[in-house]
């Protein structure tokens, strides 16, 4: 952590010394620059799973510039992960009040709402995210819209969203898994296997993915491949419900 803090100070000093001065001597946009740096650090700590430090950094960002929207949006994501729903919603709403076109905030708020069973409302935010032509990762909003459509029981619409995600990013891991699961439920077993194999190549398999693989191979009659998935389930996720189902032979 000390190394990261040193980089913060270096970045702050470097940013301040290259800016124009106001009449007060304060560098122009210095507050926004500090907010940006603390937000980037907050995002990095969030990615590393260090939630308390992430919250601290993001609060420092907001203290530096209360109107820096990305800080509120990132803080909403942290609070969402911590299950602090009221704080998460407040943060997302603040971010979108500052910048209604913030695609990341729209996508993440949509994800938050979808996970809290407000699927129809969530879809509005995914659509808002996708309206922005400057959105750097639209495949994420397409994927989330697909997952949310599945939660509403609409696999047909979900497949449309998920395929749009793959058209932009062929290695979008969650889209590949969801499409594999849809194909399995339709008994399109070879297609399901192909999609799941692609998913496995680009991400560490979850218990759900391994369990899906085992069920695909069991239905195809490939006991060797099925057993391989079973070994991975027991090694990686010994206490998972999926592993218990495999060990008890409950494949239906």
Question: Domain extents for the chain?
Answer: 1-14+29-99, 186-252
What pLDDT, on a 0 to 100 scale, did the predictor assign at position 54? 96
Query: Would you say how long the chain is, in residues?
Result: 252
Per-residue pLDDT tens over the stretch 150-176: 999 999 999 999 999 999 999 999 999
Q: What is the CATH number of domain 1-14+29-99?
A: 1.25.40.10
Q: Return phi, psi of residue 21, to 5°.
A: -100, 140
What pLDDT, on a 0 to 100 scale, did the predictor assign at position 145? 96
Per-residue pLDDT tens over the stretch 10-21: 333 323 222 333
The H or E element spanning position 49 is none
Is the four-CA dihedral 136, 138, 144, 147 of positive or negative sign?
A: negative
pTM of the model: 0.83
Collapsed DSSP state (helix, strand, coil) of residue 195? helix
What pLDDT, on a 0 to 100 scale, did the predictor assign at position 199? 97
Intervals of the chain under pLDDT 70 = 1-28
What pLDDT, on a 0 to 100 scale, did the predictor assign at position 65? 93
């Amino acid at each position: 952590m000390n190394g990261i803090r040193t980089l913060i100070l270096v970045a702050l000093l470097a940013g301040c010394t290259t800016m124009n001065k106001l009449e007060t001597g304060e560098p122009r946009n210095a507050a926004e620059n500090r907010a940006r740096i603390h937000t980037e650090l907050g995002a990095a700590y969030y990615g590393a799973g260090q939630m308390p430090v992430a919250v601290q950094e993001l609060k420092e960002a907001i203290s530096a510039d209360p109107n820096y929207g990305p800080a509120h949006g990132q803080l909403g994501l942290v609070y969402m992960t911590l299950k602090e729903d009221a704080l998460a919603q407040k943060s997302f709403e603040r971010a979108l009040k500052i910048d209604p076109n913030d695609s990341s905030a729209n996508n993440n708020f949509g994800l938050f709402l979808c996970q809290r069973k407000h699927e129809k409302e969530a879809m509005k935010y995914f659509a808002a995210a996708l309206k922005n032509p400057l959105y750097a990762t639209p495949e994420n909003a397409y994927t989330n819209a697909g997952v949310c459509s599945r939660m509403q029981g609409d696999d047909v619409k979900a497949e449309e969203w998920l395929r749009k995600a793959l058209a932009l990013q062929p290695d979008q891991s969650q889209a590949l898994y969801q499409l594999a699961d849809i194909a399995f439920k339709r008994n399109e077993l070879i297609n399901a296997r192909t999609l799941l194999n692609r998913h496995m190549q680009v991400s560490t398999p979850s218990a759900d993915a391994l369990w899906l693989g085992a069920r695909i191979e069991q239905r195809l009659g490939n006991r060797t491949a099925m057993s391989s998935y079973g070994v991975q389930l027991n090694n990686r996720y010994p206490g998972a419900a999926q592993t218990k189902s495999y060990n008890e032979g409950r494949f239906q």
